[in-house]
Structure formats: C-alpha cells, structure tokens
Structure 1
Amino acid sequence: MAGTALEWTKVKANAADPEKFEATYAEWEQMAEQTLASLRSRGLSVKKCFVSAEELPARGASGAGA
C-alpha cells in the first residue's frame, strides 16, 4: 500500500493508467481499508505494508498489454 498521501501522489503520477485511480488519497485509503476488511471477513490473513513509489516499476515496465 502506498502509505502516505505523498507516496500515493507519486504512484498515481507515474502510473500508466492514472485515470483508474481514485480522485483523492482519502478516497483511495477508504477503498483500501474496505478491501482489507472484505478479505479478512472471508478468513484471509492480510497485512498492510509500505511500498515507496521508487520501489514500483516505471510506467509501462510491467509489460501491461503484452
């Protein structure tokens, strides 16, 4: 999870598809918490982890669309 608003902003700015992101960090954070709760309610063990924007692949490096 991008753990801070600054990191989230960097991730969104470098994403190949920023239009698919939530409009704000607060909206993204709410979605992420709801997703975690949903997974836990299904009996899955999930943990939050901090991932810096620098740790993610550069735009297009994932091979999306290949």
Structure 2
Amino acid sequence: MSARELAELIELFPNMTLLDKRMVSGDGELARKLADFDRDHGDKFRAPLAELIAVLTLPLLLALFTLWWALN
C-alpha cells in the first residue's frame, strides 16, 4: 500500500459504517488488507475504555432514574 493510499484510508476509516467494513471483508484481497491495516493502525481509531465508560454513564443513570421514577 502506498503512502498516499494509506493516508487516504486513515482519513476514510473512521467514517466507514459497520456495513461498509463488512462489505470490504467479503472480498478476500480487501479483507486481508483491511485486517493488516486494522492491526497496524486500529488503535488510533478505538476509543479508550475510560472514555466510553464516561460517555455511557450519564445516559445509563438517566435511564435508571426515569425507570425508578416511573415505577414509584
């Protein structure tokens, strides 16, 4: 993969939907390249666990409070 292709893929990868990634995975050659890319650069696109917990805590607490309020 050339440097230009890699830069383009790094720019596009975060915006790909899960369906797009699965369609690419269906092609043997592209699937291998996508797996190699994800192995080498995937950590740049994954949210840290602490960040995910922080983002999901508020909606979970709001849902629990709403449920508690509705049942009382």
Same topology, TM > 0.5: no
Q: Which has the larger radius of gyration?
A: 2
Structure with more relative contact order (C-alpha pairs < 8 Å, separation 6 or more): 1
